[in-house]
Chain A
Amino acid sequence: MNPEELLRHPLPTETPKLTLGCPLLDRLLGGGVPIDTITEIVAESGTGKTQLSLQLLLAAQLPTSHGGLSASSLYLHSEFPFPFRRLHQLSLRRPHLPENPLDRVFVQPLHSADHLLDLLPRLDFLVPKFNIKLIVIDSIAALFRGEFENTPVELKRRSSMFFKISSKLKFHARKFGLAIVLTNQVVDVMGSSESLRIGNSVSFFSSGRRVSAALGLSWANCVNTRLFMWREDERIGSSENEIVGEEGETLENFQTRRFIRVVFAPHLPDSSCEFVIRREGVFGV
């Protein structure tokens, strides 16, 4: 290795980006998910992180003229089962996709953080062979939950592992021009104690609960861009003309609204956008 070779000069004027498959969401991200970096989507379950990940798996196959990477993708999942029916459903309704898009999605289950670390060196072989340009890990939090005890020694080992995983991922991203998308879970913030502020807001709420991203401060240092998705359950219609029928029917008067916000990103301002999940995919509104 020569240090001269690490110089990139002159700089390109734009980073290639992968479309999210919706112009409104792309606008929020300044064109899409940037390659060479790690983008993290934080949300509680049922908000749509997996939906968006699946959409990205297909978007990566689009020709570059349509914002894609005309490449295959690798989906590493630690949350089971893999929703292949939904992926198939999405693939039927997306224009400009190549034939048999599911053949270009490689799926690998993950069982632990060590399993992920063992797998990463194999990327050197897998990525060029199958023309992979997108790696999705859904979710990173599930790999670390439960495996580590809450003692200083264990936490230190855990955070050292974060940096190792992140740096290996970034290394491959840089080497092959990959886009890397990770999903992360949320944890509830207990009590009124002042929690550490990371990013654009003092506190984040989802389903009315105060939450923060799982895995803590050291992991936050490991990602380049963090997006937060949340849901709000709203009552529709005024209380007077509420249709109260038999038991349980009042639930139908609730409507879930979903939002996505930039928590921090080197190239994006603080902004947010509402989105919906339809049969055809995830769309900004």
Chain B
Amino acid sequence: MEVSSLPISASQRAKLLSAGYTSLSSLSSVSPSRLAQDLKISENEAAEILKIASRRSGLEKIETGSHPIMNGAQTAWEMLHEEESSICITTSCSDLDEILGGGIRCKEVTEIGGVPGIGKTQLGIQLAVNVQIPADYGGVGGKAIYIDTEGSFMVERALQIAEACYEDMVEYNSLLRKDSVAAYQVDKQPKDFLENIFYFRVCTYTEQIAVINYLEKFVSEHKDIKVVVIDSITFHFRQDFEDMALRTRLLSGMALKLMKLAKKFNLAVVLLNQVTTKYNEGSFQLTLALGDSWAHASTNRIILYWNGNERYAYIDKSPSLRSASAPYAVTGRGIRNSASNSKRVKLM
């Protein structure tokens, strides 16, 4: 497919062709800033062109691809392609990103559990901030929904993490764009990060179910939402459920809705879970709360735990990742690499 068929202005088309971008595939891997430089246009304009190009190539794939037998069905080949292009939200801890294959995946439901004080909420807030890192900086450039069932979301902390994220962006800018005039300007201020977190505080399980049912409508009105964090999925379901079968039905209904949401809007769903002790063959073991049937609800399961004085994350369940663990640290600036781990790597 040729660039000449894109619905863009004639001057933009001419600039593209003279800079050597003739086919759509040549545009597929170029960043907006690079394109802006090559074409001598603004970054916004370049991003717009790329958006149009990627939309067009997406359409083309569907048109030329084999016709599905059923509406919405895909072949495994198409799904593989789609997964390769799927986007990830960084955790700001490169060790953790590495075992996760880049970060928390969009289109998937990821469950994260651990003991109180291990950093579940911290990770949740970090993701709500990181999802907003613009595409120019290797991010997703989206918005976040944060559903707080426990009341642990503190705006002070979110602002702190956003400030650190902003500083990192300024530093990135000054390192990579020395030549550009706009080098030291990052157009996103820390307070803007808070603007883009849609925060729901739910106080009962009825409210929780109502909000989750409402999400589809809300997200379709706010298309740029790329992550939904539920902190925690568990809290309201650990009281007063005489009828465990009812609880299981409610939970699996919720899980199905969230999975559908993730697929439909290409967003990441992150569920935070608590741990509980389970009596098993004469001994008590730690396990994520809500029981065995709930374990099927999420695509990926990550368990956070203490190893000596260090925090570790362990991939307990994932269809595509091998199980592995990585250390991380909770710092004033948010989730980061564990300091002692980087030392150890140097020693080796």
What separation, in Å, do the CA atoms of A202 and B155 have in the docked complex? 28
Q: Is the CB of B240 within 8 A of A221?
A: no
- Residue B274 is within 8 A (CB to CB) of chain A in the complex: yes
- Residue B194 is within 8 A (CB to CB) of chain A in the complex: yes
Contact partner of B214 (CB less than 8 A), chosen from A3, A37, A269, is A3
- Residue B195 is within 8 A (CB to CB) of chain A in the complex: yes
Nearest chain B residue, comparing its CB with the CB of A164: B239
Q: Is the CB of B153 within 8 A of A266?
A: yes
What separation, in Å, do the CA atoms of A152 and B275 have in the docked complex? 17
- Min CB gap A42→B, angstroms: 12
- Residue B321 is within 8 A (CB to CB) of chain A in the complex: no
Chain A proximity mask over B205-224: 1 for CB below 8 Å, otherwise 0: 01100110110000000000
What separation, in Å, do the CA atoms of A170 and B156 have in the docked complex? 19
The stretch that binds A, out of B10-18, B114-122, B129-137, B259-267, is B114-122
- Min CB gap A153→B, angstroms: 11
| Residues of the A chain whose Cβ atoms lie less than 8 Å from the Cβ of B279 | 152
Q: Is the CB of B157 within 8 A of A8?
A: no
Contact partner of B155 (CB less than 8 A), chosen from A6, A13, A38, A174, is A13
Given contacts A10-B195, A202-B309, A263-B117, contact A217 B238 (CB under 8 A): no
The stretch that binds A, out of B90-98, B176-184, B196-204, is B196-204
What separation, in Å, do the CA atoms of A34 and B121 have in the docked complex? 17
- Residue A272 is within 8 A (CB to CB) of chain B in the complex: no
Given contacts A8-B200, A11-B194, A221-B235, contact A38 B151 (CB under 8 A): yes
What separation, in Å, do the CA atoms of A267 and B158 have in the docked complex? 9
Q: Is the CB of A266 within 8 A of B201?
A: no
- Residue B277 is within 8 A (CB to CB) of chain A in the complex: yes
- Min CB gap B217→A, angstroms: 9
Q: Is the CB of A218 within 8 A of B276?
A: yes
Given contacts A1-B210, A264-B117, contact A11 B156 (CB under 8 A): no
- Residue A173 is within 8 A (CB to CB) of chain B in the complex: yes
The stretch that binds B, out of A89-97, A140-148, A181-189, A193-201, is A193-201
- Min CB gap B147→A, angstroms: 9
Chain B proximity mask over A156-178: 1 for CB below 8 Å, otherwise 0: 00011111100100110111000
- Min CB gap A201→B, angstroms: 9
Q: Is the CB of A15 within 8 A of B155?
A: yes
Q: Which of A1-21 contact B (CB under 8 A)?
A: 1, 3-4, 6-15
| Residues of the B chain whose Cβ atoms lie less than 8 Å from the Cβ of A104 | none
- Residue A220 is within 8 A (CB to CB) of chain B in the complex: yes
Given contacts A197-B306, A221-B235, contact A11 B201 (CB under 8 A): no
- Residue B186 is within 8 A (CB to CB) of chain A in the complex: no
| Residues of the B chain whose Cβ atoms lie less than 8 Å from the Cβ of A220 | 115-117
Nearest chain A residue, comparing its CB with the CB of B307: A197
Q: Is the CB of A3 within 8 A of B213?
A: yes
| Residues of the B chain whose Cβ atoms lie less than 8 Å from the Cβ of A159 | 238
What separation, in Å, do the CA atoms of A7 and B152 have in the docked complex? 16
Q: Which one of A3, A38, A174, A175 has the highest number of Cβ atoms from chain B below 10 Å of its Cβ?
A: A3
Number of A positions contacting B (CB below 8 A): 49
- Residue B72 is within 8 A (CB to CB) of chain A in the complex: no
Q: Is the CB of A14 within 8 A of B240?
A: no
Q: Is the CB of B159 within 8 A of A13?
A: yes
- Min CB gap A279→B, angstroms: 34
Q: Is the CB of A7 within 8 A of B156?
A: no
Q: Is the CB of B203 within 8 A of A14?
A: no
- Residue B316 is within 8 A (CB to CB) of chain A in the complex: no
| Residues of the B chain whose Cβ atoms lie less than 8 Å from the Cβ of A162 | 239
- Min CB gap B158→A, angstroms: 8
Q: Which one of B150, B155, B213, B236 has the highest number of Cβ atoms from chain A below 10 Å of its Cβ?
A: B150
- Residue B154 is within 8 A (CB to CB) of chain A in the complex: yes
- Residue A64 is within 8 A (CB to CB) of chain B in the complex: no
| Residues of the A chain whose Cβ atoms lie less than 8 Å from the Cβ of B235 | 163, 167, 221
Q: Which of B277-300 contact A (CB under 8 A)?
A: 277, 279, 286
Nearest chain A residue, comparing its CB with the CB of B203: A171
Nearest chain B residue, comparing its CB with the CB of A10: B195
| Residues of the B chain whose Cβ atoms lie less than 8 Å from the Cβ of A269 | 332
- Residue B249 is within 8 A (CB to CB) of chain A in the complex: no
| Residues of the A chain whose Cβ atoms lie less than 8 Å from the Cβ of B332 | 269
Q: Is the CB of B154 within 8 A of A34?
A: yes
| Residues of the B chain whose Cβ atoms lie less than 8 Å from the Cβ of A14 | 155-156
What separation, in Å, do the CA atoms of A218 and B275 have in the docked complex? 8
Q: Is the CB of A199 within 8 A of B156?
A: no
Given contacts A1-B210, A6-B200, A170-B151, contact A30 B156 (CB under 8 A): yes
Contact partner of A7 (CB less than 8 A), chosen from B121, B199, B203, B309, is B199
Contact partner of B116 (CB less than 8 A), chosen from A4, A8, A38, A198, is A198
- Residue B191 is within 8 A (CB to CB) of chain A in the complex: yes
- What are 16 A-B interface contacts by the 8 Å CB criterion? A1-B206, A8-B200, A13-B194, A15-B154, A30-B156, A38-B151, A160-B238, A160-B241, A167-B203, A170-B203, A198-B115, A198-B116, A221-B234, A264-B116, A266-B154, A266-B157
A residues sitting closer than 8 Å to B (CB atoms) are 1, 3-4, 6-15, 30, 34, 36-38, 152, 159-164, 167, 170-171, 173-175, 196-200, 202, 217-218, 220-221, 223-224, 226, 263-264, 266-267, 269
Known pairs A199-B117, A200-B117, A269-B332 / 12 extra A-B pairs, C-beta < 8 Å:
A6-B200, A12-B155, A13-B155, A14-B155, A14-B156, A38-B151, A198-B116, A217-B116, A217-B276, A264-B116, A266-B121, A266-B157
6 A-B pairs closest in CB distance: A264-B117, A163-B239, A267-B154, A3-B214, A199-B117, A164-B239
